[in-house]
Structure 1
Amino acid sequence: MRNSLQLQSFELVARDIAEADIASLHALSLGVGWPHRPKDWEQLLQTGPGIVAVDGIGRVFGSAMWFPHGDDFATIGMVITTPRAQAQGNGRWLMDQVLGRCKGRYLSLNATHAAHALYLSLDFRDEAVVYQCQGEAALTLPPLPPLDGELAPISAGMLGDIADLDARAFGVDRGDLLDIITRKADIVVLKRDGKLAGYSCCRDFGRGKVIGPIVASSDRDAVHLAAIHLQKLKGEFVRVDTREKDGLFADFLAQCRLGVYGTVTTMSKGRPFLNRKPAEPWIYGLAAHGWG
């Protein structure tokens, strides 16, 4: 694994992303049209390691991060390269760096259209499409299905229960990540028969708010866990990333004026990542593309 990449007129070197200043990372994501604010980058840096590709005078030409969960799994995200460097192989070189550092782990990522062919060449395999639903939330929400259970704000000591439910839906324990991203989030839980049946988070991100994760065992539950946030966000810019192409939940988002802005592809390497089971908890709303 080469720690440097020779381009036509200069050399790039891999550095710890923690050494990069937030302004440079923000400029990098702005350059490819991603909505991340400096505060979003700050939160990402709290949740996982990464690298940046820098030239001899410290200019940042690319980034890549990975988010370990347990001993044998990680998600990959924030793989960005400038168009100039991408044309000369910077994207592949960055991924080689990541794969070397994640050796022994099975992996998942959400691939943009531009990067999809690269990931296929690195033996990642398609699993599902993620629909980026966003827009100014409707001033009047559509009628809701009957609620089976009780919605309530998170109470003290519930984060462990949320992490356990999330692990059933996600496939591995990501309690450390949830501990960080829920610190500045509005969290609602769904209880049924005295037990935790679902939860959702709403936090600042990009142009407005993102609702996610949303974990539920049915479309009906997921609708209620999204609606309780949307009722407070009427007219505001909201984003939900979901793998639901159709059905009650997807229809509800569309009726709330959260149209499909774009898509990415969930891919995995080493072994399949997604394992949906009937009536079991499922990730209806992603935490973020990089976090899965």
Structure 2
Amino acid sequence: MSNNNREISLVTLDSRHLKGALKLSQEFSWPYRLEDWQFAAQVGEGVVLERDGEVLGTALWWSYGERYATAGMIIVTAKAQGGGQGSRLFNALLEATKGRNLLLNSTEEGLALYRRRGFEPWGMVHQHQAVLAAPPETEPSDDIRPATAEDLAAIQVLDERAIGMPRQQLVAALFDTGKGKVLVRDDEIAGYAICRRFGRGYVVGPVAAGSVEDAKRLICAHLVKLGGQFVRLDVYADDGLSDWLAELGLPMTGQAVAMARGTRPATIAPLHMYAVANQSFS
């Protein structure tokens, strides 16, 4: 091992690393704020490559029950690339999540690397974002209302059915930091959507519902309040929301390949996750 490799330590992510992680993500023009890093670390775990206190690489994961985890925010600075540091970082992530089915969203550049590690593509995530010039015109509806604290338990149950993983802690944290809308049908919650501050403005997601039309209505319930704001949604390509979002003034600006190492979680139809909270922790 070279002297350079010996100087780089692999350590557990903690709060002292977050400013360095922010600087690292800015190197790659990621839009994260310090608050976004703090939230990701609060609800997940991670490892860091560091040298003399400088953060050179990050890899985070979020565990959902005993069977599943998602991975993301995997970054290695150019000055630490080569010499096996990226593999060292990713191996630590794989070791920490061993025994769980692991999901991630990959850029085209990372596809070959993840395939070599046993990940298989299963879908696409489309990133839509822009300053929302004009909010959508929608008619008031009695079945969509602001979520309350009393709704949280039902939202958590619905979320697990829609995504197939128990994400109670994540949903509670999203609920605390954002504003929720719920769709109520026959006195039961049939869908939900959360909007929160993220990156350059606001992100709408997760959005879980039993149909595309219900998902659209929940999304619009947030967008009507976001005219003139920078808005982002990350939606699954197969659900047909991309053209609709573009028509609303939120064009597709990027895409990621959804991949799984192991078995994908099974959802309970007709519930479905239409927009993710974040491409990293989904």
Shared topology, TM-score over 0.5?
Answer: yes
1:75-94 matches, cutoff 5 A? 75-94=70-89
Q: Distance in 2 between the 1:263 and 1:115 partners?
A: 13
Which of 257, 261, 278 is the equivalent residue of 1:288?
278
* TM superposition shift of 1:255: 1.3
Equivalent residue for 1:265? 257
SS at match of 2:237: coil
SS at match of 2:14: helix
Q: Deviations over 1:131-165 (max 9, x none)?
A: 00001113152667x96x70011123211100000
Equivalent residue for 2:217? 224
Equivalent residue for 1:51? 47
Equivalent pair of 1:62/1:81 in contact (CA under 8 Å): yes
Change (3 A) 1:114 1:171: same
Change (3 A) 1:166 1:6: farther
Q: Deviations over 1:153-194 (max 9, x none)?
A: 112321110000000111011011111121021100001111
Q: Distance in 1 between the 2:244 and 2:3 partners?
A: 48
Change (3 A) 1:288 1:262: same
Mind listing any 5+ residue stretches in structure 1 that lack a counterpart? Answer: none
Change (3 A) 1:150 1:143: closer
Q: Distance in 2 between the 1:9 and 1:100 partners?
A: 20
* TM superposition shift of 1:10: 5.5
Mind listing any 5+ residue stretches in structure 2 that lack a counterpart? Answer: none
Q: Deviations over 1:212-239 (max 9, x none)?
A: 0000111110111110111110121000
Change (3 A) 1:153 1:7: farther
Equivalent residue for 1:39? 35
- What do you get for the CA RMSD once the two structures are aligned? 2.0
Q: Distance in 2 between the 1:24 and 1:48 partners?
A: 17
Q: Deviations over 1:28-64 (max 9, x none)?
A: 1101111110011111111011110012x12111000
Equivalent pair of 2:212/2:239 in contact (CA under 8 Å): no
Residues 1:24 and 2:17 aligned together:
no
Equivalent residue for 1:118? 113
- How many residues are treated as equivalent by the alignment? 282
Q: Distance in 1 between the 2:2 and 2:249 partners?
A: 47
Q: Distance in 1 between the 2:175 and 2:212 partners?
A: 23
SS at match of 2:253: strand
Equivalent pair of 1:7/1:88 in contact (CA under 8 Å): no
State TM-score, norm by structure 1.
0.90
**Identity value in percent:** 35
Equivalent pair of 1:141/1:255 in contact (CA under 8 Å): no
State TM-score, norm by structure 2.
0.94
Change (3 A) 1:132 1:116: same
